[in-house]
A and B are shown apart, each in its own frame.
Chain A
């Protein structure tokens, strides 16, 4: 890796006062950004500059800053989580950009993810989908069976684990031309459908989660596959197929 240097950049950022107001793209100039800094650190630097100028800082979501919480969103230069693959925005580094670049930063755009302020969107629709079925029933009477003592075929365990890697960031929805949440819901349904612990609620789970997904206003899947490419955790389209299979199975029961 080459040594870090400082670059000067131009930013075009979506500013929106609140959910009901009309937003617009604003231009900012930010100098001396280290290529060793992360994208969010660059935004921190911008906000510090804005605060010093007595202007209002840009609101954006962030939490763990290590790619596991799913909080950071941002549509950067037309791509969810920016110009790199298999990462979240907090894992994006400024070395991906060049001196003099203009960077466009927008919030997730989807009917089901309304903007709260600037780059912050309300993703509680995902929470409600999870609450509709993203759980398993376990005996807690004192005779709880250790999960490790339940035999699971290695292939199933691997697939369930890969589905469980979903962090619920919403990049799939933001990327999809239909605003579909099927990669997310597919991953959540698959995670349980593949494991013996998920069998108890299997029928109700897929029906309830898909119903909630539709009620929230997410679109449908047309097998474009953009979500799979932009997913920071590489969730496979196979999960959508599995969800559809589970849904059909549950519907004819």
Chain B
């Protein structure tokens, strides 16, 4: 996640990350060992469920970062930067919040729903701190 889905990401890294996380997920569900039982308080089971959540969240982050072919905020796609290395936005195509619909274990089946952003008070423009 740090190397390929970090603050700077690119298409190659994200594609690799999605495949690697899918492999990790498969290994996790095959090899996970949970001590104790489900009949009483089991902090180890809580930890396992948390790791399972992290894996899904990681998948989702990589998927969403891959489809968002622009740079904005903490999402810096290395392919989309201006001459000065600043974020290059694409408000024409990506002025929306992505909501992914769960479609089972296969992450490639997830469906993207777009929640359009409507700005009434502010003018959309490139932003930087210079």
Residues of A at the B interface (CB closer than 8 Å) are 17-18, 50-51, 54-57, 59, 116-117, 120
Contact = CB atoms under 8 A, between A and B. Distances in A.
A18 B41 CA distance: 8
A59 B41 contact: yes
A93 to B, nearest CB: 23
Interface stretch (B6-14, B32-40, B68-76, B102-110): B32-40
B41 A117 contact: yes
B91 interface: no
Contacts of A57: 35-36, 43-44
Contacts of B35: 50-51, 54-57
A120 B44 contact: no
Contacts of A116: 40-41
B106 to A, nearest CB: 31
Nearest to A118: B41
22 contacts: A17-B40, A18-B39, A18-B40, A18-B41, A50-B35, A51-B33, A51-B35, A51-B44, A54-B33, A55-B35, A56-B35, A56-B36, A56-B44, A57-B35, A57-B36, A57-B43, A57-B44, A59-B41, A59-B42, A59-B43, A116-B40, A117-B40
Contacts of B33: 51, 54
Contacts of A17: 40
A74 to B, nearest CB: 15
Contacts of A54: 33, 35
A120 B41 contact: yes
Contacts of B41: 18, 59, 116-117, 120
Given A18-B39, A116-B41, 5 more contacts: A54-B35, A57-B36, A59-B42, A116-B40, A120-B41
Interface in B24-50: 33, 35-36, 39-44
Contacts of B43: 57, 59
Nearest to B43: A59
Contacts of B39: 18
Interface string B100-129: 000000000000000000000000000000
A140 to B, nearest CB: 27
A55 B43 CA distance: 14
Contacts of A50: 35
A227 B117 CA distance: 57
A120 B43 CA distance: 10
B7 to A, nearest CB: 27
Nearest to B36: A56
Residue with the highest number of chain B CB atoms closer than 10 Å, among A50, A57, A116: A57
A51 B48 CA distance: 13
A116 B41 CA distance: 7
